[in-house]
Amino acid sequence: MLHIHEEGSKENIPNLKVTLIDFFGNDLVNTGNKYSWTDRDKVMQFYENYKIDGKGKRLTAESSEEKIRWYFPYAKATYIISVTNDFPIDGIRVKIEDVSEKPVYQTQIVPLFAANLYVLCTTQAAKAQQFGARINKPVDVVLKRRE
């Protein structure tokens, strides 16, 4: 989980390209589902957590649902990626890019550590939160504006 924002703001910056890269700066590819159960043979990219309705369907602009909740409730408004339990985090980094037509933010590379891996499933996350410090704390990334 990544909370990507500007200095002085708590709002997550939307529509960024957030990619896992290896030690050499190459995009990490999920070859044969080695790193994740989804997106086989694709570059490993984070996506923004989203809200769902009471039936578990992703909300759209036309939704008029009252029972709205986050898809991953413990992630809230963050960027997330699902990886396997034995994901080799050592040497892996995150590349954050503003790829909009007129980029506002500088590209940033952030190292990841084993402590940055979290349980996002509701029952497991709730169980883990019962003991000790809160474990599901997103990596806090402050982006700088281009000059």
Q: What is the pLDDT of residues 2-27, one digit of tens each?
A: 999 999 999 999 999 999 999 999 99
pLDDT of res. 120: 59
Tokens for 82? Answer: 């699902």
Position 108 scores a pLDDT of 97
Cβ contact 35:46 at 8 Å: no
Entry pTM: 0.82
- What would the mean pLDDT of 125-129 be, rounded to a whole number? 45
Question: What are the CA-CA distances from residue 50 to residues 18, 71, 79, 106, 140 (Å)?
Answer: 16, 6, 9, 25, 19
Residue 73, classified by CB atoms within 10 Å of its CB into exposed (0-12), middle (13-18) or buried (19+), is middle
Which letter does DSSP use for residue 43 in this model? B
3-state secondary structure labels for all residues of 65-115? CCCCEECCCCCCCCEECCCCCCCCCCCCEEEEECCCCCCCECCEEEECCHH
